[in-house]
A and B are shown apart, each in its own frame.
Chain A
Amino acid sequence: MGCFNLYIFNRQGTCIYYHEWFRPKSVKQGAGTLADDQKQMFGLFWTLSNFCATLDPKDQTKPQLGTPRKIGQGCKFKSFTTSSYKCNFLEVPSGIKLVLNTHREAPDLTDVLQALYDDIFVEYVVKNPLYVPGQPFQSDQFVNALNAFLRQNGLLQQQQIMAAAS
């Protein structure tokens, strides 16, 4: 299994962190610029979670599509799988959103993403005095911890990434 890329957004829709491990189709061929790519990904996340909450058969209130919601209201959208990749999502109540693109055979990554937030993002970013809440950040320590964490979870094996892409 392998990871392709990771986006971290805040509530304002700013992509505060982007990491790419493997992206055979460059951004230029897709959205054009990295900023547009990130904005589209945020929009995708937003629309999918809103749409899924609208479809929820267990929700008694039957909200209209696009109705503003409170945090955590309605069901949560976790991932979707295509024939070539899997897109995993996590949203935490403080507005941080994680999007991780992986190989399509990846198992349910809800717990992995939660642990990524709990043990890596909070420890290395939120507690870093140089991090200004709401601003994009760069931190070598975070990158190292992130890579180590994903490797530990078997999500960062170069050969498999290559195999998945071919």
Chain B
Amino acid sequence: MLRGGPPGARNAPSLEQINAEVFTLTYGSIVRQLISDFEDIEEVNKQLEQMGYNMGIRLVDEFLAKAKITRCSSFKDTAEVVAKQALPMFLNVSANVANWSPDQTECSLILTDNPLADFVELPEEHRDLKYCNVLAGVVRGALEMVNMEVECRWVGDMLKGDDCYELRVKLKEHRDEKFPYKDDD
């Protein structure tokens, strides 16, 4: 969506870029419209997540085509790729992967800069709004397409006074490739 790919990506054709402010303002008006359409903040969070999911299941192909990455052998690698390659490619910011759970199935993506939320102030009556929930959906959708079922939730949000944006990503299942047909059909 924004700017070009990360430096050093092999033969990556430059991605189309759009002005960051146009992007931020467009996203803002989408959220605003959802709030007036649904009125219920929980429902808005859900809609944003769903929109992100629909983006994610397509975005993953774009990422695979442009990033020329080799395969990720573990969830840990995958998290690094999301933080260091995918986010810079589409949002022009990179994240840090931290706070691993002891069994390596849960981690946090930490963003200190988030172009989605530039110029945003959350009014008091919308304290429950997860403004950047679209990102949670994108990550879930994209990883689902590579057979990783994850759950994403925001645990830190600078709009609510935290130090950084923290997206908690939990690996629920790393599925095997299955033969889609039954033996007898």
Interface residues of A (CB under 8 A from B): 11-13, 39, 42-43, 46, 68-72, 92-96, 117-119, 121-122, 126-127, 133
B65 within 8 A of A: yes
**Cross-chain contact B66 with A93 (CB below 8 angstroms):** no
* Contact among B13, B57, B179 with A46 in the assembled complex (CB-CB below 8 Å): B179
Q: Distance (Å) between the CB of A53 and the closest chain B CB?
A: 11
**What 1/0 mask marks residues of chain B from 169 to 183 whose CB sits below 8 Å from any chain A CB?**
000001111111100
B1 within 8 A of A: no
- Which residues in A have their C-beta under 8 angstroms from that of B146? 71, 93-94
21 residue pairs of the A-B complex, CB under 8 angstroms, read A39-B181, A43-B181, A68-B177, A70-B174, A92-B64, A93-B71, A94-B60, A94-B61, A94-B146, A95-B147, A117-B65, A118-B66, A119-B13, A119-B65, A121-B61, A122-B65, A126-B58, A126-B61, A127-B62, A133-B57, A133-B58
B155 within 8 A of A: no
**Cross-chain contact B181 with A71 (CB below 8 angstroms):** no
C-alpha spacing A46/B178, complex, angstroms: 10
Which of B60, B71, B177, B179: most chain A Cβ within 10 A? B177
C-alpha spacing A140/B135, complex, angstroms: 33
C-alpha spacing A32/B62, complex, angstroms: 36
**Cross-chain contact A95 with B145 (CB below 8 angstroms):** yes
A-B complex: 10 closest residue pairs judged by Cβ atoms:
A68-B176, A72-B71, A13-B180, A118-B65, A122-B65, A126-B61, A94-B145, A12-B180, A93-B146, A94-B60
- Which residues in A have their C-beta under 8 angstroms from that of B62? 122, 126-127
Q: Distance (Å) between the CB of A104 and the closest chain B CB?
A: 29
- Which residues in A have their C-beta under 8 angstroms from that of B176? 68-70
Given A92-B61, A94-B64, 20 more contacts at CB 8 Å?
A11-B180, A13-B179, A13-B180, A39-B181, A43-B181, A68-B177, A69-B176, A70-B177, A71-B71, A71-B146, A71-B147, A71-B177, A93-B146, A94-B60, A119-B13, A119-B65, A121-B65, A122-B65, A126-B58, A133-B58
- Which residues in B have their C-beta under 8 angstroms from that of A119? 13, 65
- Which residues in A have their C-beta under 8 angstroms from that of B61? 92, 94, 96, 121-122, 126
C-alpha spacing A9/B137, complex, angstroms: 25
Interface residues of B (CB under 8 A from A): 13, 57-58, 60-62, 64-66, 71, 145-147, 174-181
**Across the two chains, which residue of chain B brings its CB closest to A120?**
B65
C-alpha spacing A159/B175, complex, angstroms: 46
C-alpha spacing A96/B147, complex, angstroms: 12
- Which residues in A have their C-beta under 8 angstroms from that of B147? 70-71, 95
**Cross-chain contact B177 with A93 (CB below 8 angstroms):** no
- Which residues in B have their C-beta under 8 angstroms from that of A122? 61-62, 65
C-alpha spacing A121/B64, complex, angstroms: 12
**Across the two chains, which residue of chain B brings its CB closest to A49?**
B177
Q: Distance (Å) between the CB of B45 and the closest chain A CB?
A: 23
- Which residues in A have their C-beta under 8 angstroms from that of B65? 117-119, 121-122
C-alpha spacing A93/B61, complex, angstroms: 9
- Which residues in A have their C-beta under 8 angstroms from that of B175? 70
Which of B61, B66, B175, B179: most chain A Cβ within 10 A? B61
- Which residues in B have their C-beta under 8 angstroms from that of A96? 61
Q: Distance (Å) between the CB of A90 and the closest chain B CB?
A: 12
